[in-house]
Structure 1
Amino acid sequence: MYGNIMEMMGKLQSAQENFEKLKQKLDSQSFTENSSDGTISITMTELATIKDIQIASGLLADKEQLEDTLVVTLNKALEKVKQNAMQEAKNTAKESLPPIPGLSF
């Protein structure tokens, strides 16, 4: 009985370490999302840290359009972050955690 508990504790510790590695990996990877009209470019990490925003010079005069385009483009980028992070977490859980009844990935 104690052997199974110790084995499970070891696997959980390993899973915790794997998730920390995943966090570091996602924070070191970045991508760029462009607005549909190409006027705004946003670069962010896979953990949703914004690294850079580029704005076409023509947009600087139209504050409302700039705000709207930023919101749409940021939301597109954040959706990609969420989808990728969820998939990476599922993969890490499958590889790291012992089978747990009722828990599927």
Structure 2
Amino acid sequence: MFGDLMGMMGKLKEARQKAEETKKRLDGVLLQEEGAEGMLKVEVTANREIREIQIDKELLGDKDALEDYLLLTLNRALKKAEEVHNTEMAAVAREGMPNIPGMDQFMK
């Protein structure tokens, strides 16, 4: 019994370590999104951190339009990042889970 418990604890520790490694790796996964017909570009990491914003000079003259484009483009980029992040972290969680009878029904 204790061998199984120790094995499970070891697997959980390993899963936690893999999750941390995955988070670090996702800092290097860059996603780009464009708005305003390419006049606005944003870059975010898969950990949902904004890395870069490029704004064409034409957009600087219309504050309201620029704000709208920024909101839309950033939200699309962050949604992409969220999807990549969640997919990667779910894979790590599934891989690192100890074999507990009945738990497979919750991992679908």
User: TM range, normalised to the smaller chain?
Assistant: over 0.9
**Aligned-partner SS, 1:51:** strand
How many residue pairs end up in the alignment? 105
Deviation per CA, 1:28-69, whole angstroms, max 9, x where unpaired? 221211115211000111111111100011000100000000
TM-score by length of 1: 0.93
TM-score, scaled to structure 2: 0.91
| 2:5 matches 1:5 | yes
| Match runs of 1:14-93 below 5 Å | 14-35=14-35, 37-93=37-93
* RMSD, matched Cα: 1.2
Moved over 2 A (4+): 99-103
Q: Determine the C-alpha separation between the residues in 1 that align with 2:13 and 2:98.
A: 11
CA distance in 1, matches of 2:25, 2:36: 28
After superposition, give the CA deviation of every residue in 1:74-97 in whole Å (9 maximum; x if it has no partner).
000011011111111111112111
Q: Please list every run of 5 or more consecutive structure 2 residues that lacks an aligned counterpart in the other structure.
A: none
